[in-house]
Structure 1
Amino acid sequence: MENRQQWGTRSGFIFAAVGSAVGLGNIWRFPYTAYENGGGAFFLPYLFALLTTGLSILALEFALGHRHRGSAPLTFFRIHRRSEFIGWWQVLVAFTIATYYSLIIAWSMSYTYFSFTQAWGKDTEGFLFNSYLHIAKNPGEFGGLVPGVLLPLAIVWIVTLGVAFKGVKKGIEVMNRIFIPALIIMFLIIVIRAITLEGATEGLNAFFQPQWDRILDGKVWVAAYGQIFFSLSVAFGIMITYSSYLPKSSDTTNNAFIAGFANSGFELLAGIGVFAALGFMAHNLQVPVDKVASAGVGLAFVVFPQIINELPFSSLFGVLFFLSLTLAGLTSLISIVEVVFSAVAEKFGISRNKAIAITGSIAVAISLVYATRGGLMFLDVVDYFVNNIGLIVLALLEVATIALVLRRLDVYKDHANKVSDMKLGMLWKISLLIITPIILSYMMIDNIRQNLQENYGQYPTEFVVTYGWALLAGMFIVAVLISFRKWGNQEVSEEKKERGVS
């Protein structure tokens, strides 16, 4: 087994952690979530969720990886051999997300190119679904590969695997040192331009105007916790893996707070830019902002091209926006696949490069499913079930196992406090023992209940069962089966030494 790699500098690790957290969801999910859940009033539950759950789990995962110095499965194995399956479930979730996340980055890359000539024309919705993606009519229908998606998809995987082959210090760290500052500079330019547009004030008022009557609505608080949870890259195994590359004397708690607040800062910046632009569009169309506000694929690839069409120097604005999406996506994708590569190399005792070659090839092959005419519908269902049910269950399982079942919070609190200037205390323990399990349990039960009552997206039952429920069950079964395979002697001896086993 090769020696474990390390970050070159603390700032390199922070850039990487921020790069993982700052992704597509910051740009196209947060602004609309805030607007839909009370506007300015949403920031109160959002901040509470960040302080009680987001930073608490982030600090826990940094301490886990730093103390046990292994991938997610190896870390959980060293915590307790019977909890190893949690780490493998995280690996499989990360692997699954990587296979379709790469497609969204490929679309962003294509639209960066389209921006030079506004190739989408006036009918941006028709261009996306018909001219570009050639969407199939029926869910579950593959319909053949879409040629226009293949080249950008190949570039995405070449960049991602190329960075991975270069390693932690020379690959991931160097890439994030370039991409994150570039992303921030480009998005600042977008925001400055957006807030100077006619009608921008109307959009910003819609975004920030507090609806205080919504504060007592439980759904608003659940939305706040959901946004924090999804945007910080927790329960993927990412932060456990990244923190395992830190030197032994590294400050973990301060790093967690820096990464957490940097992520939220970028979300706020994205909200300002997005709603200033939506205000401009609403002003031009002479309609209220709520008539043009949207989220997800529709916001990025339908609404924003419409906005870009109306702007002076539209090509520049379009290139900056879609290149920002591309960079944000790449930094997240590289962190996601690192979870897989690290785990496979350690479990099966093979070199890092061999693990990248094998698992990377499989991921590329599976991603072609989403490059078909039916790919968007496959992506929609898989993404929903993995994120809204799979990750919630995983986060609950992670926290409950460590805090409630094994009762090891004091171990990780002491470890973090030993190397960190900022100390974890009783509030951190209360969050992980009480607040976080309650919130996650409610989110899990409510999501499952809703999906048992009505199929997500009104898709056919067979389609939802096959690519939603069955996929989640399959990942769980595979995770348990892999955990039965023995580790190498080095891992076993280290686990026994740490747990005091002779």
Structure 2
Amino acid sequence: MEMKVISRDSSPGSSDLDSDQSENERGRWGRKMDYMLSMIGYCVGLGNIWRFPYLCMRNGGGAFLIPFLLFLMVCGLPLYFLEVSLGQFTGKGCFHVWEACPLFKGIGVGMVCVLFVVTLYYNIINTWTLFYMGSSFFSPVPWTRCDEEWNTPACINDRPTATSNGTLMNVSVSSIHSNYSTTVGILNGTKVVGITSEEQFWFNHILDLSDGLHDIGTLNWRLTLCFLIAWIVVCLCLIKGVKSLGKVVYVTATLPYLLLTVILIKGLTLPGSMDGIVFYIRPDFNKLANIQVWLEAGLQVFYSLGPVNQYHYILQVWLEAGLQVFYSLGPGWGPLITMASYNKFNNDCYRDSITLTLISEGTSIFGGFAIFTIIGYMSHLAGKPVEDVVQAGPGLAFLVYPEALSQLPFPNLWAVMFFVMLFSVGLDSQFAPLEGCLSAVSDMFPRLRRHKALLSIVSCVFFFLVGLVLCTSAGLYVFQLLDWYIAAFSLPLFGMLECLIFGWIYGAENMSRDIEIMIGRSVPVYMRILWCIVTPLLLMLLLIFSLYTYRPPMVGSYTYPGYARAFGWMIALLPLVPIPICAYQVLRRSNGDTLYQKFRESLKPSEDWRPVSTTESEKYNVESRFPPGDMKSTILRNVLGRES
């Protein structure tokens, strides 16, 4: 199926590109709103729902917003703006924008490697959500029952509460299962141990979890069916590329806001909800007081650091804020470049970057209010402090929320609403990595652009078949292993290299001139300073301390064996391997008699580095991008836009 080019905008200043492209070209967003909603959908992911509230709670409440917003401005926004500018200027995906500095073409290949692995495993989250969504139509909701085939004698379908005379109520446990025993309450200093019905539904019914990677088990046919449905939905949404995606996001990107608002309003009517909100926003500035918080980093998005001393804990606060911004906005992965490459050439990408970063990260803050009304309600029901019912990751979405929703009036309605919201958010996060992979393939083989539908179908079938291992009894272990390692070290490195390449090697001044061709004004000085100095320094710290704080992955009490950790390190290094390989190939083909001459030539833009606009490309002179000058003038020109 051919991608038809959208007609050119008749507004002033849009007289350059669209009519120059034939029907088999990459295509364009039909409307500006298609692009905006797609970017919001990509950036507003499940981490906004199940990670940000947790980080805010444990890192000083409202005080956490100070480093969060600061990192948003000095790290998230500059990288975001840089990547969308690259995509829009070149009209190419992350695989081909490195013609500005051919020596580092391997970064584009590495980004595609990350996208490939993420695309492979991410849809299993949507699969779990579909499973819960379908189960939400049964009354009573099945995760509240202890008389199903997947339940064990240790099942507890109500949290224990104590009466005035000290006896326990609502406990229906006859024996303790050694593998999954959980402390569900404390009475008179004595722990009450059992397995909640929500945990058994999750571990025994949905996951059918085995004892480890060594026990793959069989395919769970229910989960496999949901996995197939999830991939069919993704395929249909992307079957015409950005043309169909631009229509789908009107639902998937806006529905979560509507449902979050409804959940917030309902949550505010529940007892204990205000306790949750107060706990969420209550500032604890003591956790921000130490200046050394700027010096340590930990990839908390993937790592559970376990018990730490108070000093070490204080040092994580600012850096977790930076990591949350970095991973939620998504620079360094490649989808930002790909999505922006479908923009009109003269689109104001600077204004869009500011708007989209504020909307995307504002969603994290807004979602926190909705989430903590429910958490406050759970705290009220259990008679426990708020912090004892909060956790990050899938456990929050698939254990804590289902339990809370089952306590509400009309639990089926609220469960369906909640999991529809999660599915919408998850779909948006799945679209961008897959489109990044498809764009890389079609950019490499332009003839495939005429067969976008076939390419999408074949790709989705491939990812479905390979991803079936995630539907086995060891699926959760495979998911955690891939998620733990794939982006652990490559993303901060890619982001840092982007800043160094376009800040110093190609030059912030040259990049500013290219952006000025598109939007009619140069890059502000503060953005140049961030590109050249502040942002790469912060990302270097993230990279260094991600190695320093490394801990092997775990699932509950299960520790991965040595061979699994070795495979994980292979996954972590996979995106980095193409960098030296591609650099060697470029050096071999570069002009020059000596290695030094070849090296100098490989740092210069190739003839393929030019604007996607046909009109501007004809006038563009690659050689003029490198004005001569000494070190001092080069620094002043890149950072301040002047040579003296």
What TM bracket, shorter-length normalisation? over 0.9
Alpha-carbon displacement from aligned partner over 1:33-54 (angstroms, at most 9, x marks no partner)? 1111111000000010111111
Match of 1:476?
Answer: 576
Distance 1:158 1:105 in 2: 12
| 2-structure distance, mates of 1:257, 1:269 | 18
1:402 maps to which residue?
A: 502
Query: Does 1:178 find its partner at 2:230?
Result: no
Q: How does 1:186-225 map to 2 (within 5 A)?
A: 186-217=259-290, 218=293, 219-225=316-322
Shift of 1:422: 8.2
Q: What aligned pairs does 1:368-447 form with structure 2 within 5 A after superposition? A: 368-404=468-504, 406-420=505-519, 424-447=523-546
Instruction: Provide the rounded CA distance (Å) in 2 between the counterparts of 1:209 and 1:254.
Output: 33
Which of these residues, 217, 228, 236, is aligned with residue 143 of structure 1?
217
Asked whether 1:51 is paired with 2:150, we answer no
* Letter aligned with residue 254 of structure 1: R
Residue 300 of structure 1 pairs with residue 397 of structure 2: yes
Alpha-carbon distance in 2 for matches of 1:492, 1:62? 20
| 1:316-372, Cα deviation, whole Å (9 max, x unpaired) | 111111111100010110111110000111113341325434443332222112121
Same amino acid, percent of matched pairs: 27
Match in the other structure for 1:361: 461
Shift of 1:91: 1.1
Letter of the 1:125 counterpart: E
Give the drift of 1:112.
1.2
Q: 3-state SS of the aligned residue for 2:527?
A: helix
Task: Answer yes or no: is the 8 Å Cα contact 2:101–2:501 preserved in 1.
Answer: no
Matches within 5 A, 1:98-137: 98-117=119-138, 118-121=141-144, 122=157, 123-137=197-211
Q: Secondary structure at the match of 1:120?
A: helix
Give SS of 1:142's match.
coil
| Aligned twin of 2:561 | 460
Residue 415 of structure 1, CA deviation: 3.2
Amino acid in the other structure paired with 1:439? L
Q: 1:157 to 1:272 in 2, by over 3 A?
A: same
Any unmatched runs of 5+ in structure 2?
1-21, 145-156, 158-196, 294-315, 589-604, 611-616, 625-644
Deviations 1:439-480 (A, max 9, x none): 2112212121222xx4232422321121x2111223433576
Report the more deviating stretch, 343-352 or 96-105.
343-352
- Worse-superposed segment, 344-353 or 48-57: 344-353
SS at match of 2:218: coil
Question: 1:63 maps to which residue?
Answer: 85
For the 8 Å contact 2:552–2:565, the answer to whether it is kept is yes
1:439 and 1:108 map into 2 onto residues whose CA distance is 35
The separation in 2 between residues aligned to 1:247 and 1:432, in whole angstroms, is 24
Q: Answer yes or no: is the 8 Å Cα contact 2:40–2:356 preserved in 1.
A: yes
Root mean square deviation, CA, Å: 2.4
In structure 1, C-alpha distance between the alignment counterparts of 2:582 and 2:462, rounded to whole Å: 17
The answer to whether the aligner puts 1:73 opposite 2:95 as a matched pair is: yes
Matched, 1:335 2:409: no
Distance 1:216 1:459, change over 3 A: farther
Aligned to 2:153: none
Tell me the distance in 1 between the aligned counterparts of 2:420 and 2:579.
36
2-structure distance, mates of 1:433, 1:345: 32
Q: Give the AA of the match of 1:37.
A: N
Distance in 2 of aligned mates of 1:44 and 1:25 = 19
Q: Counterpart of 1:167?
A: 241
Match of 1:287 among 354, 359, 384: 384
Q: Distance in 2 between matches of 1:11 and 1:412?
A: 26
Residues 359 and 397 of structure 1: CA distance in aligned 2, closer, same or farther (over 3 Å): farther
Return closer, same or farther for 1:384/1:421 CA change in 2, 3 Å cut-off: farther
Letter in 2 for 1:259: L
Structure 2: distance between partners of 1:113 and 1:423:
52
Secondary structure of residue in 1 paired with 2:289 = coil
User: Which of 432, 436, 449 is the matching residue for 2:548?
Assistant: 449
Quick one: structure 1 residues 100 and 422, their matched pair in 2 at CA, closer, same or farther if it must change by over 3 Å? farther
Q: Deviations over 1:241-270 (max 9, x none)?
A: 111111111110111111111111211121
Q: 1:481, CA displacement in angstroms? A: 5.5
d(CA) in 1 for partners of 2:388, 2:119: 33
Matched, 1:3 2:25: yes
User: In the aligned structure 2, how far is the partner of 1:421 from the partner of 1:271?
Assistant: 38
2:640 equivalent in structure 1:
none
Q: How far is the alpha carbon of 1:418 from its aligned partner?
A: 4.7
Match of 1:153 in 2: 227
2:443 corresponds in structure 1 to: 346
Residue pair 1:66, 1:243 contacting (<8 A) in 2 also: yes
Query: For 1:82-129, what per-residue CA distance to the aligned partner results, in whole angstroms no more than 9, with x for missing partners?
Result: 222111111110111111110001111111112223111231011101
Q: Secondary structure at the match of 2:95?
A: helix
* Cα contact 1:254–1:422 (8 A) shared by 2: no
SS at match of 1:275: helix
**Inter-partner Cα distance in structure 1 for 2:254 and 2:502:** 36
Query: What is the alpha-carbon distance in structure 1 between the residues aligned to residue 536 and residue 545 of structure 2?
Result: 14
Report deviation, 1:398. 2.3
Report deviation, 1:421.
7.9
Compare 378-387 and 135-144 and name the one that shifted more: 135-144
CA distance in 1, matches of 2:548, 2:621: 40
Partner AA of 1:495 in structure 2: W
Provide the secondary structure at the position in 1 that maps to 2:489.
helix
1:253 and 1:423 in contact (8 A); partners too: no
Partner of 2:170: none
Assess if the C-alpha contact under 8 Å between 2:92 and 2:341 holds in 1.
yes
Question: Secondary structure of 1:54's partner?
Answer: helix
SS in 2 for 1:264: helix
| TM-score with structure 1 setting the length | 0.93
Counterpart Cα distance in 1 of 2:240 and 2:374: 39
For the 8 Å contact 1:140–1:463, the answer to whether it is kept is no
Match of 1:41 in 2: 63
- Report if the CA contact (8 A) 1:191-1:269 is conserved: no
The 5 A counterparts of 1:231-250 are: 231-250=328-347
User: Structure 1 residues 478, 181: closer, same or farther in 2, change over 3 A?
Assistant: same
Pick the structure with greater CA Rg: 2
Alpha-carbon distance in 2 for matches of 1:271, 1:291: 17
**Contact 1:187–1:320, Cα closer than 8 Å, also in 2:** no
Tell me by how many angstroms 1:142 deviates.
2.0
Letter in 2 for 1:193: K
SS at 1:183's partner residue?
helix
- Give the counterpart letter for 1:75 in structure 2: V
- List per-residue Cα deviations over 1:265-320 (Å, max 9, x = no partner): 21112101111100000001111001101111110001111101111121111111
Query: 1:71: how far off?
Result: 0.9
